[in-house]
Amino acid sequence: MIDLHTHTFFSDGVLSLFELVYRAKNKGYSAIAVTDHIDYSNMELVILNIVKAAKILTESYNILVLPGAELTYIPPKFIKSAASECRKLGTKVIVVHGETVAEVVPPETNIYAVEACVDILAHPGHLSEKEAETAAKNNVKIEITTRKGHNVTNKEVAEIALKKKAKLVLNTDTHNPENLLTKEIIEKTLSESGLPTYYYDIMQKNSMEIVSDKR
């Protein structure tokens, strides 16, 4: 299993980075990205620590740990430059906190994210056809999420993304141990998203595209 959207207590998760990764390993994960919430106020501090820890954990356990960042509440016109700064600091997976219906997010976050060629647009809420089409063009993956609240628009997101040939990935947005993937969580999320069970393999291949490019 590959999960490219998770959090530790560097932001609003409840686990340390080392505990998160070890728990994921024991769940059967092959790769995980640690993507704590990032903006210009904490960028350097959080990313440099994640980069250091990811190297230790990848070398110690049989799991690929990718240092990531979830750009959160960045004024949309600054998303591209913020992503560039994160890359320079060693971030391998850039996720943008999309316009979920569960929270108030700056308008146009989705379109600026896909135009910036980030890796993943997370929980995009009411994904538009233009956003999906731009994501497909720029090979930005669109997230189907298992996270409660954010997942209420999964079916809508899947329909629009598939219509415009944007690639989907399945992530957990993990904040606590119970959020980590299991077979039951995967099957339930796919069903509620209107996707067949076999589609998980396609989503994993889409995730592997990101992973393979970042090794």
Residue type, 177: P
Helix H, strand E, coil C: the string for 21-73 is HHHHHHHCCCEEEECCEECCCCHHHHHHHHHHHHHHHHHHCCCEEEEEEEECC
77 forms bridges with which residues in the sheet? none
Contacting residues for 111 by C-beta, under 8 A, at least 6 apart = 76, 128, 130, 131, 134
Which tens digit of pLDDT belongs to each residue from 12-65? 999 999 999 999 999 999 999 999 999 999 999 999 999 999 999 999 999 999
Domains identified in the chain and CATH numbers = 2-209 (3.20.20.140)
pLDDT of 215: 61
Torsion of CA 132, 183, 97, 192, to 10 degrees: 50
| Strand, helix or coil for residue 215 | coil
At 135-163, the pLDDT tens digits run 999 999 999 999 999 999 999 999 999 99
Rounded CA separation 65/57 (Å): 7
Tell if the pTM clears 0.95, that is, is over it. Answer: yes
CA–CA dist 179, 27 (Å, integer) = 11
Q: Is the dihedral of CA 31, 36, 39, 42 positive or negative?
A: negative
Q: Is the pLDDT of residue 121 over 90?
A: yes
